[in-house]
């Protein structure tokens, strides 16, 4: 049940083997081990609730099948194989949960689990998620604009960056206890955006997908989605958002700065040292013997909405 097509993973097996060695040496890399092809028998075991949200009918993108979205994941706190999060995250306790908003703001506040789901009107946004490993999915996310939280927090004039922190709980997240299982990452996972990127209307805090609350493997109860950036910016299971004057070192930048930059804008003209970014495998497409590849678009297809944010930046230097 829920098996990925072999073709979803085999074309990159040589890379994956190399990356497993790199991770073992401590350098780390996204997807550091060979993904298992078999998925959890019941990847959706955690109890999920239906959400009420405004439907968005604008998108012409075809959705990735739900079983791929919830079965082929990167969430290194639960292991580095694509099937590990679905297998290992089911017992993540998401209620009670506290999201703390703090730092350079006039109005620090917290939200509990219920408030995450009910404080801001929810809407569906169909976005393409493009991973730096050169695959993509199209997901019907449910959430609200990060801008809602920023408006409520009222950043001070010192606030230049918005910083996100994932839960740090080695008892629940085995990858935080075991260096190799967790891909050599120094936890907790931290990500950040410039304040203007965070305020862009595309930037979403997601609490659900496919009409229901987020499964643990996709970052329950709340995760970021920044559709014009590589997937690693879309941090999962957030417990704290801080506003800061200085740019923090983010998780992947810290681990391998020559490979992962702070900006991480999807850019087909700037290759990752180990993966061409010119095209991408479309997860869930094709049959047993083929998987669709498509050209990668500048800013993942969201150029019109975000190119202005980077008009003074050399994107080759600021990758």
Binding positions for Mo-molybdopterin are 73, 76-77, 131, 166, 218, 223, 234-236
Residue numbers 185-204 binding ligand MTE by CB under 6 A: 189
Neighbours of 99 (CB within 10 A): 21
168 to each of 65, 177, 189, 256, 313, how far by Cα in Å?
Answer: 31, 10, 8, 21, 34
In the list 113, 232, 275, 299, the residue contacting ligand MTE (rule: CB under 6 A) is: 232
Residue with tokens 């965070």: 198
- Does residue 234 interact with ligand MTE by CB under 6 A? yes
Minimum separation from the CB atom of position 38 to ligand MTE (A)? 17
Query: Of the listed pieces 155-163, 234-242, 254-262, 307-315, which binds ligand MTE according to CB under 6 A?
Result: 234-242
- How many CA atoms within 13 Å lie on the side-chain side of 278? 1
Residues with Cβ within 8 Å of 119's Cβ and at least 6 positions away in sequence, in order, are: 111
* Alpha-carbon span 174 to 78, nearest angstrom: 6
According to the binding rule CB under 6 A, does residue 275 interact with ligand MTE?
no
Using the rule CB under 6 A, give the single segment among 69-77, 120-128, 254-262, 286-294 that binds ligand MTE: 69-77
Place of tokens 């350079």: 104
Q: Is the peptide bond prior to 96 cis by the omega test (within 30 degrees of 0)?
A: yes
Q: Which residue has the tokens 């993108």?
A: 61
Q: Which is nearer to ligand MTE, 152 or 186 (CB)?
A: 186
| 129 binds ligand MTE, rule: CB under 6 A | yes
Check binding of 44 to ligand MTE (CB under 6 A): no
Tokens of 89: 């995250």
* Known binding-site positions: 73, 76-77, 131, 166, 218, 223, 234-236
Residue with the closest Cβ to ligand MTE?
231
Q: Which residues are CB-neighbours of 257 under 8 A, at least 6 positions away?
A: none
What string marks each residue from 72 to 111 as x (binds ligand MTE by CB under 6 A) or -? -xxxxx----------------------------------
Residues that bind ligand MTE (CB under 6 A): 30, 73-77, 129, 131, 166, 189, 218, 231-232, 234-237
């Amino acid at each position: 049940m829920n098996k990925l097509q072999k073709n979803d993973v085999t074309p990159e097996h040589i890379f994956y083997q190399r990356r497993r060695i790199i991770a073992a040496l401590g350098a780390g890399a996204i997807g550091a081990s060979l993904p298992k092809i078999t998925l959890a028998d019941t990847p959706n075991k955690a109890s999920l609730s239906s959400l009420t949200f405004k439907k968005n009918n604008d998108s012409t993108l075809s959705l990735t099948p739900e079983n791929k979205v919830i079965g082929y994941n990167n969430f290194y706190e639960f292991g580095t194989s694509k099937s590990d999060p679905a297998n290992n995250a089911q017992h993540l306790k998401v209620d009670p949960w506290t999201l703390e908003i703090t730092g350079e703001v006039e109005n620090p506040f917290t939200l509990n689990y219920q408030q995450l789901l009910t404080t801001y009107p929810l809407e569906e946004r169909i976005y393409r998620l493009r991973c730096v490993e050169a695959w993509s999915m199209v997901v019907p996310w449910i959430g609200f604009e990060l801008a809602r939280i920023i408006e409520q927090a009222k950043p001070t004039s010192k606030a230049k960056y918005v910083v996100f922190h994932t839960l740090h709980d080695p008892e629940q997240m085995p990858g935080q206890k075991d260096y190799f299982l967790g891909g050599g990452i120094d936890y907790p996972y931290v990500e950040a955006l410039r304040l203007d990127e965070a305020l862009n209307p595309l930037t979403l805090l997601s609490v659900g997908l496919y009409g229901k609350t987020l499964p643990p493997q996709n970052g329950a109860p709340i995760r970021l989605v920044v559709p014009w950036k590589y997937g690693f910016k879309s941090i999962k299971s957030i417990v704290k958002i801080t506003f800061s004057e200085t740019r923090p070192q983010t998780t992947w930048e810290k681990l391998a700065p020559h490979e992962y930059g702070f900006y991480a804008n999807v850019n087909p003209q700037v290759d990752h040292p180990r993966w061409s970014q010119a095209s991408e495998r479309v997860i869930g497409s094709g049959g047993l013997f083929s998987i669709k590849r498509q050209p990668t678009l500048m800013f993942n297809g969201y150029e019109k909405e975000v190119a202005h944010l980077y008009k003074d930046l050399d994107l080759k230097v600021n990758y």
